[in-house]
Structure 1
Amino acid sequence: MRAPEGPIEFTVGAGAGGSPDIIMRTIAQIMNEEGIVENPIVIQNRSGGGHSNAYNHVLGLPGNETTLLTLASPVFTTPIVQGTDSVIDQITPIAGFVQSELVLLTTPDSPYNSLQDFVAAATEQPGRVRIAGGASGGNDHVATGLIEKAAGITLTYIPHESGSAARATFLGGNVEGHFATLAEGLEAINAGQAKALAILSAERRTEEGYADVPTATEQGVDVVYTQFWGVGGPPDLDPAVAAWWADKFEQATQTARWQESLEANMQLGEFYGLDEAGEYFAREQETFRTVLTQVGLAAQ
């Protein structure tokens, strides 16, 4: 293993305040403050274009040892939707390290009190029920497509530059639905800004605030979906540097601070490094390709 020299940039394709941004800021802070990485780490938000601004920046730095790309779902899905070359096939896989389930929210004054109500409204008026989400082809879009396919309905998906921008549209009462991570959803619920219709998990959550929220499957819509985040290096990154980074990410995810962050955000922390990460990313890419093709979002 070999350490890179100089300041480090973690490139993030989402705006400040979005899940990828928060995750990478948290782990960067842990790395620096706990002495795992001595190089100063800066988070650079290069949002827009379904994360293409971020990934094209990193793809344009072959062999660069001081820039890493945050891997969120649009990095996988945007090329599939746009019909461009796979990003995952070009980057150097380093680590996958955090996963999160999603909750479907509606506004607190909404007439919908269950996913069945939501589906019934969309059945009666196809396209009338709107979902505010992040980038086209991202997690929110995929989840929307899965709900549409499983329930046989048509929803209107409204993409935004980032998840935080989509959340603002939802909180402003401009749409009927929004997918959120469990922590984001609970914050909105506790603030009286939203109510939960369904969680896209295999089993009900047991935390206060979610214990009484049925899964989508329980409500007759057979959808289970988990989003994930990871990190990769530019093409042709020295394997010794990639191994060094994988080791540092694994060390950071084993700290008490990271474990506390996972618990606070109701996230999962399965770790994949190097070749295992590459295999994991390849499997997820094919899953995205299959789902996006099924729901008609993949470029032909």
Structure 2
Amino acid sequence: MNRQQFHRAAAAALLGLATLASAWAQDAYPSKPVNMVVPFPPGGVADVVGRPVAEAMARHLNQSVVVVNRAGAGGGIGMAQVAKAAPDGYTVLMALSSLVVLPEADRILQRAPMFEINQLIPIARMTADPTVLVMRADSPWKTYADFVAHARANPGRVTFGSSGNYGTMHVPMEQLKAATNTFMLHVPYTGAGPAIVGLLGGQVDAIATGPASAVQHIKGGRLRALAHWGEGRLALLPDVPSFKELGVNIGYSQWAGLFAPAGTPPAVVDKLREAARAAVRDERTIQTMTSAGTQFQYQDAAEFDAFVKADAAAMKAVVQRIGKVN
């Protein structure tokens, strides 16, 4: 064997060893704790969904799945962190539907997007709940008609909180403003949890949020729901009409789903899919979610990927219609 042949053989051997090492690493996954980034503070929908799902996935994977709250920029900071993370399966994202809005919002604001949707791989959709219009139980508005009449008569005097500009609590309120020709003052917070605290504390008059964030406060008599952005009546809130029932043609669904960085090996993605599927079938987790005011509406990776693409196209049109906001 001459020197050139030797080098070729050595290179082939090293490549084979590297391939074996990579395959072994994927087979051994996860060999250390997995971080699940929730891009909002505790108390919001992503956190309410993420924590029980993380616990159930950990039981399936026989490895810790640690929830890490990375709030800021309407969820964009945490989403960007995962989009740019190493694609090894040890950093995953529990995102909300604002994921498909924020890149387009950045473009409208003429700034570089913090991340792009194609930097993330959909693993599984967990929930998809219609947003609910909520205010304090001691507010003067007993019905949606009371609320919108006051907003029309007092431009800029009614305030609403959100999880951040163009987030899942902001976009539906902009839809409502446009549909009713009202001007309400937007007060952005760092997440749904702080926005609900602001509502309870009297800092804002109303919020649009998922049922999981508000149902316990509604049942406890602290908050009142006037309408929702879904279809028909909600099982959890059967007395609350939809906007369409009230003659306002708007709709919005706040979904939560699991993502991994693009480039994550297929074998690792499959293990994450299996763990997510096990979580939605786990009786303990189902009970926790039901108690929190939501239910699983699971989609596996392929179906969820198609859902995300369709929602991104629909929300792009909504955000462009909203335009620049403060």
| TM-score strictly above 0.5 | yes
Q: Say whether residues 1:27 and 2:56 are aligned partners.
A: no
2:269 to 239, 242, 251: 242
Change (3 A) 1:277 1:196: closer
Whole-angstrom CA distance in 1 between matches of 2:89 and 2:137: 48
Whole-angstrom CA distance in 2 between matches of 1:296 and 1:71: 23
Q: Say whether residues 1:157 and 2:183 are aligned partners.
A: no
Whole-angstrom CA distance in 2 between matches of 1:286 and 1:135: 21
Could you tell me which amino acid in structure 1 is paired with residue 57 of structure 2? M
Deviations 1:231-270 (A, max 9, x none): 1111211111111111110111112223323433342422
Give how far 1:285 is off: 1.2
Tell me the SS of whatever aligns to 2:155.
coil
Which residue in the other structure is 2:10 paired with? none
Map 1:107-186 to 2 at 5 A: 107-186=136-215
Q: Say whether residues 1:18 and 2:36 are aligned partners.
A: no
Asked which structure has the greater CA Rg, the reply is 2
Deviates more, 1:195-204 or 1:1-10: 1-10
Whole-angstrom CA distance in 1 between matches of 2:287 and 2:130: 17
Whole-angstrom CA distance in 2 between matches of 1:56 and 1:180: 23
Change (3 A) 1:246 1:206: closer
Give how far 1:271 is off: 2.0
Whole-angstrom CA distance in 1 between matches of 2:120 and 2:314: 18
Q: Could you tell me whether the CA contact under 8 Å between 2:273 and 2:301 is conserved in 1?
A: yes
Q: Say whether residues 1:219 and 2:246 are aligned partners.
A: yes
Give how far 1:290 is off: 1.4
Which residue in the other structure is 2:319 paired with? 292
Structure 2: unaligned runs, 5 residues or longer: 1-25
Whole-angstrom CA distance in 2 between matches of 1:273 and 1:206: 24
TM-score between both structures, scaled by the size of structure 2: 0.84
Tell me the SS of whatever aligns to 1:50.
helix
Change (3 A) 1:11 1:223: same
Change (3 A) 1:65 1:214: closer
Q: Identity across aligned pairs (percent)?
A: 25
Q: Say whether residues 1:37 and 2:37 are aligned partners.
A: no
Give how far 1:297 is off: 4.5
Which residue in the other structure is 2:304 paired with? 277
Could you tell me which amino acid in structure 2 is paired with residue 134 of structure 1? S
Whole-angstrom CA distance in 1 between matches of 2:116 and 2:31: 25
Deviates more, 1:9-18 or 1:194-203: 194-203
Q: Say whether residues 1:106 and 2:135 are aligned partners.
A: yes
Q: Could you tell me whether the CA contact under 8 Å between 1:100 and 1:266 is conserved in 2?
A: no
Tell me the SS of whatever aligns to 2:60.
coil
Whole-angstrom CA distance in 2 between matches of 1:195 and 1:270: 25
Cα RMSD over matched residues?
2.1
Which residue in the other structure is 1:4 paired with? 30
Deviates more, 1:132-141 or 1:184-193: 184-193
Could you tell me which amino acid in structure 2 is paired with residue 254 of structure 1? R
Q: Could you tell me whether the CA contact under 8 Å between 2:49 and 2:289 is conserved in 1?
A: no
Whole-angstrom CA distance in 2 between matches of 1:268 and 1:147: 26
1:196 to 225, 236, 240: 225
Deviates more, 1:216-225 or 1:277-286: 216-225
Whole-angstrom CA distance in 2 between matches of 1:297 and 1:96: 29
Deviations 1:41-98 (A, max 9, x none): 1111111122222122222224232110122123222222111445321112211121
Deviations 1:131-152 (A, max 9, x none): 1111211111111011112222
Which residue in the other structure is 1:56 paired with? 80
Structure 1: unaligned runs, 5 residues or longer: none
Q: Could you tell me whether the CA contact under 8 Å between 1:81 and 1:298 is conserved in 2?
A: no
Which residue in the other structure is 2:103 paired with? 79
Which residue in the other structure is 1:232 paired with? 259
TM-score between both structures, scaled by the size of structure 1: 0.90
Give how far 1:277 is off: 2.1
Which residue in the other structure is 2:14 paired with? none
Whole-angstrom CA distance in 1 between matches of 2:325 and 2:103: 9
